[in-house]
Structure 1
Amino acid sequence: MRVTHFHHSCVLVEFAGTTILFDPGNFSHGFEGVTGLDAIVVTHQHPDHIDMARLPALVDANPGATLLADPTTAAQLGEGWQAAAPGDVFTVGAVTARATGGRHAVIHPDIPQIDNTSFLLGNDSNPARFMHPGDALFVPDVPVDVLALPVNAPWAKISETIDYLRAVKPRLVVPIHDALLSGFGTGIYMSRLQEMADPATEFLPFPDEVAVELT
């Protein structure tokens, strides 16, 4: 598997000859001009996960890509987009994409929750080779190999993130959802998460816009 982090929550996953791009939002860059995608996946409607200004060009540049989004966002985007609700299973190239979760994490009780579909990529032998949760702390019922971990958000405090990380207990962590952190803050979050994760979980140094091979 090869993974490229295009800042914040935008992640390109290349696995079993299949290429899938997650959450090309307005805090992300570097995904512009990417071609050859087998799927473009959007977890939810917030602009840091879907940039409406740049999305049409990305879709046009990848006419063969499967387009998946949470049900509300799929309805808003219209033709060509498939609603991915919890329990739905999609075949994308040689990869199975399983939709799970369903709701965005609570930002505040006065703010209505919206759809948020978390996705598991894998195959029959390893159904969760990679997980992108979007903006949710959803724990799947299968072991996760590589977790794209949201490290900072208005809806999360670090104790919740630590508990989530321990509950999922992935083999590898790709840190995402970090655009709101300063340089100083990033170091604090990363060191705290690493020291408090399960000993079996490995954090990878993850430079932006550089493809990293995961074994």
Structure 2
Amino acid sequence: MRLTKHGHACVRLESDGNVLVIDPGSLSGPGVLAGATAVLITHEHDDHIDVDQLRAARESNPALAVHTHAALADTIGAEVTAVGVGDTFTAAGFTVRVVGGEHAEIVDGLPGCPNVGFIVDGLYHPGDSLFVPAEPVDTLLVPASGPWLKLGAAIEFVRAVKPSRAFPIHDAHLSEVGIDSFDWWLDAKGGTDYARVPLGGSVTV
């Protein structure tokens, strides 16, 4: 499959003419849903779902499939498929396994909202979570920044998942210095093949 990195937590996966987009949020940039076959949304926060952009994409393409957890599916509207932890389904020709369940805590139990991770043909997008799945992961999309995350926890997450390779996401809040620091530490201490996909860049995984 071909992976393209968009702003913050959004990636596009392409294979055999199908396009699967994960977490097209308010920081993802314009046009991320153009040509999409299906969309996966980990949770409700606007840096992971731009409701207006999603609505416009579905109006122009009524066949666009959208999958997310039940509470968010109910608020988005009709024709959204609710999925839960343990489910396995097909989206845009990819096999998707749902894992996790809860957003990582910031403080005092907040934000306390559902968050589902998606393992797509061996590629794991955890959303805002450091949930370690039981099944093997070939490619890990590791969060790089957030009010719920510290660098050491990101390194420990990569070590626990033990992927063959890891690429950073969730990085819109980092400065250039912060990005360089995160990349140095993950490359040195993550214990896997780590690399940054540039914004708008693509890799084959």
Taking structure 2 as the reference length, what is the TM-score of the superposition? 0.94
Q: Is the 8 A contact 2:21 2:33 kept in 1?
A: no
What are the ranges of 5 or more consecutive residues in structure 2 without an aligned counterpart? Answer: none
Q: How many residues align?
A: 205
Alignment correspondent of 1:45: 44
Residue 162 of structure 1 deviates from its aligned partner by 0.8
Q: Is the 8 A contact 1:8 1:178 kept in 2?
A: yes
Residues 69-90 of structure 1, C-alpha deviation per residue, up to 9 Å, x if partnerless? 1222111102011111101121
Q: Is the 8 A contact 2:103 2:111 kept in 1?
A: no
CA distance in 2, matches of 1:30, 1:169: 33
CA distance in 2, matches of 1:210, 1:114: 31
Alignment correspondent of 2:193: 202
> What SS is found at the alignment partner of 2:108?
coil
Residue 144 of structure 1 deviates from its aligned partner by 0.4
Query: More deviation in 103-112 or 5-14?
Result: 103-112
**Superposition pairs for residues 1-215 of structure 1, below 5 Å?**
1-15=1-15, 17-32=17-32, 34-35=34-35, 37-122=36-121, 129-198=122-191, 201-214=192-205
Q: Is the 8 A contact 1:17 1:93 kept in 2?
A: no
CA distance in 2, matches of 1:3, 1:182: 24
Matched AA of 1:81: V
Residue 52 of structure 1 deviates from its aligned partner by 1.9
Identity percentage over the alignment? 37
Distance 1:33 1:47, change over 3 A: closer
Residues 84-136 of structure 1, C-alpha deviation per residue, up to 9 Å, x if partnerless? 110112122432111111100001125241000100112xxxxxx21110000
Q: Is the 8 A contact 2:99 2:118 kept in 1?
A: yes
CA distance in 2, matches of 1:4, 1:134: 16
Q: Which runs of 4+ in 1 moved over 6 A?
A: none
Matched AA of 1:44: H
Matched AA of 1:146: T
CA distance in 2, matches of 1:117, 1:10: 15
Matched AA of 1:106: E
CA distance in 1, matches of 2:48, 2:111: 18
CA distance in 2, matches of 1:93, 1:177: 23
Residue 17 of structure 1 deviates from its aligned partner by 4.9
Residue 32 of structure 1 deviates from its aligned partner by 4.1
CA RMSD of aligned residues (A): 1.5
CA distance in 1, matches of 2:113, 2:160: 23
Q: Is the 8 A contact 2:40 2:67 kept in 1?
A: yes
What are the ranges of 5 or more consecutive residues in structure 1 without an aligned counterpart? Answer: 123-128
Residue 16 of structure 1 deviates from its aligned partner by 5.3
Distance 1:61 1:145, change over 3 A: farther
Matched AA of 2:2: R
Distance 1:108 1:140, change over 3 A: same
> What SS is found at the alignment partner of 1:147?
strand
Distance 1:110 1:119, change over 3 A: closer
Residue 65 of structure 1 deviates from its aligned partner by 2.4
Taking structure 1 as the reference length, what is the TM-score of the superposition? 0.89
